Amino acid sequence: MSLQLLTYIVVGLSFALYIGIAIWSRAGSTKDFYVAGGGVSPLANGMATAADWMSAASFISMAGIISFSGYDGSVYLMGWTGGYVLLALLLAPYLRKFGKFTVPDFIGDRYYSRTARLVAIICALFVSFTYIAGQMRGVGVVFSRFLEVEVNTGVYVGMAIVLFYSVLGGMKGITYTQVAQYCIMIFAFMVPAIFISIQMTGNPLPQLGFGDRVADGTYLLDKLDGLHRELGFAEYTSGSKSTLDVFMITAALMLGTAGLPHVIVRFFTVPRVKDARKSALYSLIFIAILYTTAPAIAVFARTNLIETVSNQQYDKMPAWFSKWETTGLLDFDDKNNDGTIQYVADPNKNELTIDRDIMVLANPEIANLPNWVIALVAAGGMAAALSTAAGLLLVISASVSHDLLKKLVMPNITEKQELWAARGASVVAVLVAGYFGIHPPGFVASVVALAFGLAASSFFPAIVMGIFSKRMNKEGAIAGMVFGLGITLYYIARFKLNWIGNIENSGPDNWWFGISPEGFGTLGMLFNFIVAIVVSRFTKKPPVEIVEIVDNIRIPRGAGQAQSH
């Protein structure tokens, strides 16, 4: 059976499964739509949270970044993993005990302010739309290669699929769909990793294999360092980023994780606070399987790529090379017309341009694995992108229908009207997300990193102080969120998107304190804390009933049913 037909079958069956689950678990109420009725088991919620968390950035792009950046790419691995631990231990149980549907719901009630709720809605929309752009870009990358269609066409098909099951099923449909997507995703990630680890080192555990010896007795990482030196690249195991920037990016990813609305809302879908803790533990275990394997895949893919393409005759390249060329994500420019691929660090001599988002997807083909493995990876990439896109769509629709319409604009709206408003908001959101998927501001993980920076600079301080500070009032929280989000947006627009100021002066040499746009969210978060604390000290204390709410959230007896306020 041809790879093309096999891929259509595998991806088609996975789509049929998602749609079938959505029909089976369609939402009949707003509680079903927002939090799956609050009755999801900790194990199922752990799988769904892992799938929601491990987006196209984790599946497709993280190993690709590490593959090209080596040591520098490890910031994504450390930041995203550490951030989930921070979220699970520091925030999730307390937010679950508060017993609300959304992050703007928490902020609006905790800070007793319609303005605070509105600012939180705006923050949620900025974070979610930035994040979802990366997912739609991932959908396009997968479709463009494996279904051999234009990237834009791939985005359109992905939009239709995710819209169907998110609009029909809401959180209830999304949760059980994400359980299936996690299983597909992790199987698709691990199978080729195990195959290639055995192929290259004889070790069936990829987490250990990439530090093992290859056939000639040298360590695989030493071999890769040698290949890099020969081609003029920096050694794979050495870093070029400043220590400050590495710290700032890692912190932005960690703190942004703890402020991501589409992950936080998952802890509202379980019946009790102790179930939120259990599901956090389960999801951390499920996430660790992929995250400990990503560095291995990065090393395998990078080594195989260099050995396959460097100084090879173009007309003798395997079929996968021309297939990826047709997508525009791989490009050979024969500068000296000798028919040989010169893949070197020198930009004046280099003839090969590789989009780092293709590394995980192309890895099984480069290693000449069976067609069914390649088709499985395509289905896994789609599952990763669609699972997170669905979660983000739900945050966007809930922010519009529940937080904006019901809580601010139309308090007398009926449940049925609210449900239809949520579905209508999902339709608009997926159209906007599709636009950003077709016109992304960077590769998948880079775009997602910006979303984390926005979450860190806006939500994280407001949530932490809302739980742990009785003195934090509405004036402080609002000022902090506005300033933190505003300055981070300015920095991204100035130094990442080149929308503000002189483009020639937007490079790394002009970054503030040498901090990259991906890491600036940490500084935005610090500004948020400072502004919020200063403003709160010069304004009125919160009402007594709000102080009582804060006390109640932090009482350990919350192992029982969550309380609503």
Report pLDDT for 206.
93
Report pLDDT for 559.
44
Q: Report domain extents, the chain.
A: 3-28+42-307+367-445
pLDDT > 80? residue 261: no
Q: Which residues have C-beta within 8 Å of that of residue 72, sequence separation ≥ 6?
A: 239, 240, 241, 246
Report pLDDT for 166.
65
Q: Rounded to whole angstroms, how far apart are CA atoms 321 and 317? A: 6
Average pLDDT over residues 421-445: 75
Q: Rounded to whole angstroms, how far apart are CA atoms 408 and 400? A: 10
Q: Which residues have C-beta within 8 Å of that of residue 485, sequence separation ≥ 6?
A: 122, 123, 126, 454, 457, 458, 524, 528
**H/E element, 331:** strand 330-332
Give the pLDDT confidence of 19-58 residue by residue, as tens digits: 787 777 666 666 666 655 556 788 888 888 888 777 777 8
In degrees, rounded to 5, the angle at the alpha carbon of residue 31 between the alpha carbons of residues 404 and 177 is 105
pLDDT > 80? residue 390: no
pLDDT > 90? residue 538: yes
Report pLDDT for 205.
93
pLDDT > 50? residue 224: yes
CATH 1.20.1730.10 fits 3-28+42-307+367-445, yes or no: yes
Report pLDDT for 562.
45
Helix 474-495 and helix 114-146, axial crossing angle in degrees, nearest 10: 30
Q: Rounded to whole angstroms, how far apart are CA atoms 462 and 457? A: 9
Give the pLDDT confidence of 122-173 residue by residue, as tens digits: 888 888 877 777 777 777 777 777 777 777 787 888 788 777 766 665 666 6
Give the chain's mean pLDDT. Answer: 82
Neighbour-count burial of 495, counting CB atoms closer than 10 A to its CB (0-12 exposed, 13-18 middle, 19+ buried) = buried
pLDDT > 60? residue 445: no
Give the pLDDT confidence of 304-322 residue by residue, as tens digits: 999 998 888 988 898 888 8
Amino acid letter, residue 358? I
pTM of the model: 0.80
Token pair belonging to 560: 């029982």
DSSP state of 368: T
Q: Which of 365, 295, 282, 265 is closest to 73 using CA atoms?
A: 295
Query: If pLDDT is split at 50, 70 and 90, which confidence band does 295 have?
Result: very high
Token pair belonging to 455: 């979450």
Residues in the chain: 565
Give the pLDDT confidence of 335-387 residue by residue, as tens digits: 888 889 999 888 888 889 888 888 888 889 889 899 899 889 888 888 887 77
Q: Rounded to whole angstroms, how far apart are CA atoms 188 and 498? A: 37
